[in-house]
A and B are shown apart, each in its own frame.
Chain A
Amino acid sequence: MIIPKLKQYLKIFAVLVLAFFIASAFNSEVFIRNTPVLRSNIIGNIALKINSTRSSFTRSLALLLKPQVRQANQLAKEQGKKAIEALATLPFKQVSKGTYAKTNGTATITLVKLGEIEVMEYTFVINGETVKIHVPKDANITEAQLREQYGAK
């Protein structure tokens, strides 16, 4: 008598947890966030999500189970830190208007000075809040793309 009841409760709990994750994934990958409007590239989005989830899962698993991967990861982090520290003395070179960069072959630092860049200002309503978004004038982004990206009305 108790076992079937317990089985039923476990099923209900499992369904609720699964539904929560499916709803979260659908909300961001299938629909434009928090609206019933479907995205234009649903299959591409889902494939991308599956791939990124799988690769991050494999990476986490490898970090957890294989000491040599953990050591390599630690070493790479330290090398990255040293490379960035070595860059501190080098001067910045201008790449384009408002954008500067410096590199020593292994690491790169990019500096964007927003005040120097000519921008287009878009005003959207996102989740009931009015938000202003600045996009560089020469960037090839349309208002419709921005609306889709930010789930704006």
Chain B
Amino acid sequence: MYLGPFYFDTKEIFLVLAAILVALSLYFGWSLIWFNPRTLLMLIVLMLITKGLLPAIHNEAFFILAIVTIFLSLYLPLFQIVLFYFISFALFRLLKVI
């Protein structure tokens, strides 16, 4: 789908929608069960930035990492999650997964 000069694939549109939903939940104070909306919003911002740096052929590895990161946010503190995300990215690059 084209929005102005930019092309968005389905996954990117869903990611942007998720970001909007999480931002709305923070703004209106809706509580999410188990998940912390502030942590989720921070992670989604990081994901949008890193997704912007990747070509679409690496979607699979990226989305596995995104799902695992979001799941781990249930158990680990935010800083450790952010470290995990960036270290995974660096290792993906080193091992030529992406």
Contacts and interface: CB of A to CB of B under 8 A. Distances in A.
B79 A35 contact: yes
A101 interface: no
Contacts of A57: none
A104 interface: no
Given A16-B68, A18-B91, A23-B87, A11 B79 contact: no
Interface string A1-44: 00000001001100110111011101100010011100000000
A46 to B, nearest CB: 15
Contacts of B88: 15-16, 19
Interface string B64-85: 1100100010000111100110
A8 B97 contact: yes
A24 B76 CA distance: 10
Contacts of A23: 80, 83-84, 87
B61 interface: yes
A35 B68 CA distance: 21
Contacts of B79: 27, 31, 34-36
28 contacts: A8-B60, A11-B97, A12-B64, A12-B65, A12-B92, A12-B97, A15-B92, A15-B95, A16-B64, A16-B65, A16-B68, A18-B91, A19-B87, A19-B88, A19-B91, A20-B84, A22-B83, A22-B87, A23-B83, A23-B84, A23-B87, A24-B80, A26-B87, A27-B77, A31-B79, A31-B83, A34-B78, A36-B79
